[in-house]
Amino acid sequence: MITITVNGQRHDLDADPNMPLLWAIRDILGLTGTKYGCGAAQCGACTVHLNGEAVRSCVTKVSRAAGQQIVTIEGLSANNNHPLQRAWNELNVPQCGYCQSGQLMSAAVLLRENPNPTDQDIDDAMSGNICRCGTYQRIRAAIHKAAELQSAGAKL
């Protein structure tokens, strides 16, 4: 049995320690917001937070998550009101949407560590998340928008 905490909830998983975390999240826990894109850590669609760090769950073993805190896209906020989610909605960022949970999870780490990112910072943080539909311009704009919302929210 491997115990992991996902979105604040403890789960005892009957899983092989070598199972990719992505499988545990999707197939055992039924949290399907996190996507399988490549299985090789090359697209970022599987990005979740492990103790606050953006890890690629397709190559992260469930054993690495044992006793740790995982946050998936479903847990990014209680009411879809994270500044990034609000910005994403305002600017209609997604097209097909498949990459977007990974995009948001990576952007969330950026905004937490750098509340006012430059375009270079966005390049540095987000280049590992690829989008076949090419929504990159809207992703960039939405990150800037989210930074404004976050800053405004902090001032209230």
Partner 1 sequence: MKKIIYLGIVLFSVSLMVLSFRTDSANRKELAAPAKDSVGSVKAFMSVYKVLMSPRCMNCHPSGDVPLQGEDSHLHTMNVKRGVDGHGLYAARCSNCHQPANTPGVHMPPGNPKWALPPAKMPMVFQGRTPRQLALQLLDPKQNGGRTKAQLIDHMAKDDLVGWAWHPGDGRKLPPVNRAALVAQVRLWIAKGAYAPAAKAK
Site for partner 1 in 58-87 (CB under 8 A): 59-61, 64
Contact status, residue 55 vs residue 49, Cβ threshold 8 Å: yes
- Under the binding rule (CB under 8 A), the answer on residue 22 touching partner 1 is no
Contact status, residue 86 vs residue 58, Cβ threshold 8 Å: no
Return the range that interacts with partner 1 (CB under 8 A); candidates 7-15, 81-89, 113-121, 143-151. Answer: 113-121
DSSP string, 58-92: TTSBGGGGTTSEEE-GGGS-SSS-SHHHHHHHHTT
DSSP H stretches of helix in the chain: 21-23, 83-90, 100-113, 119-126, 136-155
Return the range that interacts with partner 1 (CB under 8 A); candidates 4-12, 24-32, 83-91, 124-132. Answer: 124-132
- Under the binding rule (CB under 8 A), the answer on residue 142 touching partner 1 is no
In the bound complex, what is the minimum distance in angstroms from residue 44's beta carbon to partner 1? 8
Write out the residues near partner 1 by the rule CB under 8 A: 40-42, 44, 47, 53-56, 59-61, 64, 105-107, 109-110, 113-114, 121, 123-129
